[in-house]
Amino acid sequence: MKNFLFIIAISALSITAISPVLACTNFIVTKGASKDGSVMITYAADSHTRYGAIAFYPAADHLPGSRSEVFHYETGKLLGTIPEIPHTFSVVQFMNENQVAIGETTFGGIDSLGSQPGAILDYGSLMRIGLQRSNSAREMIRVMTELVAEFGYATSGESFSISDANEAWIMELIGKGKYEKGAVWVARLIPDGYVSGHANQARITTFPLQKNNNWNDSSQTVYHSSDVITFARKQGYYKGSDAAFSFSDVYNPLKFGGARFCDARVWSFFRYVNKEVRDNQDITNYAEGKFYHNSSLLDNTPNPNGYVSNRLPLWVKPDAPVGLQELMSRMRDHYEVTSLDMRNDPGAGPFRLPYRWRPMEFEVDSVMYLNERAVLPLSVHEIPRW
């Protein structure tokens, strides 16, 4: 694949004793930000129940009236069937024959939106079916969002990396729970020459509102559900202006763990490739879980809703093009040479080991402590002890 690279990294499951912290990381590199002009996305699905099996779905033609069975990605339970289309593309796990690729990280979001009665599509089946039906990243976004609108969304909030040989997008989607069928969502094109990422915390905040989703307009860089704001108002999640609406702050309200255990993984990647992030103490404080609520955000735009104002940017421009080996190294990160360097705390022992057994949070003498949640929490050669 000369024009496109897709990397899958798998390590071990991370679980906290007090609150669940999911453990997936995606980094995204656009063509103009990579050394060889490739679009690159990474996907670490950290789970002790997945051992690197790769599924293959061959291209196929289907007769009129054919149905596609939909099985839950994690449990294997049959969720239902949907109409098949005349032709489906060949798919190898998370990439298809058209060089459309996808990764995900679960952010969960508002608890009441975490399940939807009668929904047929969970996040994993949605990814697979979307790849079977898409020629491009834009088409993938259209297919996925139209499917959940028609058949419902069976899991909690997700951030998706979606790319093809030319473009890379970040899309965030959460179901409407028991209130309505389908999901609310927003997708943003990552500007060429920039990098982005997500790690179990919703990342899209404010965004330019669109009158409609013109899938054939290559100049349109934002797509979103028509009710992404009105649904939030209807359910009492949001009362501010349209312009100040933040998808992340409304549907996945930021807490300490969302920064320290989740966005910090993206921060570690950003600071490696971008000097401004590296030198910005306000952003470092955010990664450490220290929040500001200033009247303006870091880009000097107003903050009328009082959201966390020192958040990590959605994307940054790297100081130099990023290569494949560098990106692989970032997926093996343990916060080396940062304030969160796991080799320097008491748990590292005499050999400065950057790995930690779980739980991540623990109490000693009525004082709460934590272990960091890095991109690579455990060596893939070690067996977690539960």
Question: Tens digits of per-residue pLDDT, 126-159?
Answer: 999 999 999 999 999 999 999 999 999 999 999 9
Question: Tens digits of per-residue pLDDT, 301-359?
Answer: 999 999 999 999 999 999 999 999 999 999 999 999 999 999 998 889 999 998 887 78
Report the pLDDT value the prediction gives residue 45, as an integer from 0 to 100: 73
Q: How many percent of the chain have pLDDT more than 70? A: 90
Average pLDDT, the chain: 90
Let me know: does 1 contact 164? Beta carbons within 8 Å. Answer: no
Distance between CA 239 and CA 362 in Å, rounded?
37
Tell whether the model's pLDDT for residue 23 goes beyond 60: yes
Report the pLDDT value the prediction gives residue 376, as an integer from 0 to 100: 77
Report the pLDDT value the prediction gives residue 50, as an integer from 0 to 100: 61
Report the pLDDT value the prediction gives residue 22, as an integer from 0 to 100: 58
Report the pLDDT value the prediction gives residue 47, as an integer from 0 to 100: 61
Distance between CA 245 and CA 249 in Å, rounded?
8
Question: Tens digits of per-residue pLDDT, 244-278?
Answer: 999 999 999 999 999 999 999 999 999 999 999 99
Pair of tokens at residue 176: 């409407």
Question: Is the preceding omega at residue 359 within 30 degrees of 0, hence cis?
Answer: yes
